[in-house]
Amino acid sequence: MTEIKRRDFLVGSILVAGLTGLPWSRALGEANHLKHATNNYASAYTDKTEKHFIALVDGHGNRGVQFPLASRGHSSCMSRDGRYMAFFARRPGTWLKIIEINTGELLASISTSKNRHFYGHGAFSHDNAYLYAAENDYENGRGVIAVYSIKQGFKRIKEISSHGIGPHEIGLLNDGSTLVVANGGIHTHPHYGRQKLNLASMASNLSYIDLTKGELIEQLSPPHPQISLRHFAITHDNTVVLGAQYQGNAKDDQPLVFMHKLMTKQNKYAPPRLSALLGHAPRARAKLRQYIASVCVSRDGKMAVTSSPKGDLVSIWDLSRATWLADVSVPDVGGLASHKFNKHFILSSGDGSFYWLDPSRLTLQRVFQNSDLSWDNHLVSV
């Protein structure tokens, strides 16, 4: 894509997003030809009176089942058999909600063990027997991965080390036995809310853990100690695409999007480091304001999108060439999900909007807005 096309896309997107006053009824009408999403999504949201909820929604942001929460939610994960959705409290929350998808019922409300809190992310095992959750052993300042047995009614049966501090997003490679953990490296303690207690000495890493033994397979550090690896998405061929948050000086120019593929029998030439995705000029990168909130990959694994609510931007990345493609302006964007049946990405925003982004045709359309609520950081396909 040439520079001119990139610029055109940005300007076009702004026009579509209504920042120049395009009537939304028209945008909605234009969206209809895309066919309604038939799959559902899960997201936390907060209303204008600051009450918190989790909801299952359709691709247009219409809420179906929803449950009130005691505190803000963060992200969720679904079991491979499509039976359960696990929804996690935002750090330093201690609740976990299990929803049965078929009935839409709240199956269980679970609390972490003493001296632990959730980080907002988890993953189900491929055999649907276990739920893994990123947790903080805050008295000892170490990250753990808790294992909950589904057969035992989501009982917490053990924990293993996350091999770092502040485990955030976790996920499984397609072998089902390798757990990927983004250890953000930042020490927090629930007595101090969300205050970062070790910025001077923080050390983030990406860890691959053998779940059968709990042992570290490989660990990679970002190029600067104050780059905090937080979120990632995994393609069908096990490429991990990571989004980071830089904790140093706001004027520094640091890469925030990386990719990595673990060396295996099938992949013998993996570089022993994280590869920063290229093509984002320093000036464009500065607009991200050192902050990536979510990462999502396309179903064919060729593209990724990252959201930056601080910069009001979604960036589109070409994974086959490991390079930046385009930026699109979306106010307060957080959640990203890929559509099950087409190449669209669905975006959710703190201003109550849902958007559909077609990365191939480079179109963005707002399909829903309710200014009485704010969609939270993550949107997950159910």
Residue of 118, 312, 339, 345 interacting with another protein (CB under 8 A): 312
Q: Do residues 77 and 68 make contact, with C-beta atoms less than 8 angstroms apart?
A: no
Q: How many residues bind another protein (CB under 8 A)?
A: 42
Residue of 318, 351, 358, 370 interacting with another protein (CB under 8 A): 351
Q: Do residues 285 and 329 make contact, with C-beta atoms less than 8 angstroms apart?
A: no
Instruction: Decide whether 192 or 341 has the Cβ nearer to another protein.
Output: 192
- Sign of the C-alpha dihedral, residues 274, 280, 285, 291? negative
Residue of 90, 156, 280, 285 interacting with another protein (CB under 8 A): 90
Residue of 74, 116, 117, 366 interacting with another protein (CB under 8 A): 74
Q: Do residues 333 and 313 make contact, with C-beta atoms less than 8 angstroms apart?
A: yes
Measured between alpha carbons, how far is 170 from 151 in angstroms, rounded to an integer? Answer: 22
Q: Which residues contact 282 (CB under 8 A, 6 or more apart)?
A: 253
4 binds another protein, rule: CB under 8 A: no
140 binds another protein, rule: CB under 8 A: no
371 binds another protein, rule: CB under 8 A: yes
The least CB distance from residue 302 to another protein, in Å, is 27
C-alpha distances in Å from residue 193, one per residue of 133, 187, 189, 312, 348: 20, 11, 7, 26, 26
46 binds another protein, rule: CB under 8 A: yes
Q: Do residues 258 and 222 make contact, with C-beta atoms less than 8 angstroms apart?
A: yes
What DSSP line would sit under 45-67, residue for residue? EEETT--EEEEEEETT--EEEEE
254 binds another protein, rule: CB under 8 A: no
Measured between alpha carbons, how far is 57 from 63 in angstroms, rounded to an integer? Answer: 4
Element (H, E) at 26: helix 24-31
Strand partners, 67: 54
Binding window for another protein (CB under 8 A); candidates: 60-68, 213-221, 235-243, 367-375? 367-375
Query: Binding string to another protein for residues 180 to 219, with x set by CB under 8 A, is what?
Result: -----------xxxxx-x-xx-------------------
Binding window for another protein (CB under 8 A); candidates: 143-151, 210-218, 265-273, 349-357? 349-357
Binding window for another protein (CB under 8 A); candidates: 143-151, 317-325, 345-353, 358-366? 345-353
250 binds another protein, rule: CB under 8 A: yes
Query: Binding string to another protein for residues 218 to 237, with x set by CB under 8 A, is what?
Result: ------------x-------
What are the E-state strand segments in 215-330? 215-220, 227-234, 239-246, 257-261, 275-276, 294-297, 303-308, 313-318, 323-329
Going across the sheet that includes 373-381, the strands are: 63-69, 52-58, 40-47, 373-381
The least CB distance from residue 310 to another protein, in Å, is 5
The least CB distance from residue 221 to another protein, in Å, is 21
The one-character DSSP state at 266 is: S
The least CB distance from residue 121 to another protein, in Å, is 9
Instruction: Decide whether 10 or 270 has the Cβ nearer to another protein.
Output: 10
Instruction: Decide whether 48 or 158 has the Cβ nearer to another protein.
Output: 48
Question: Which residues would be at the binding site for another protein (CB under 8 A)?
Answer: 19, 46, 48-49, 70-71, 74, 90-91, 120, 168, 191-195, 197, 199-200, 230, 247-251, 291, 293, 309-310, 312, 331-334, 349-351, 371, 374-377
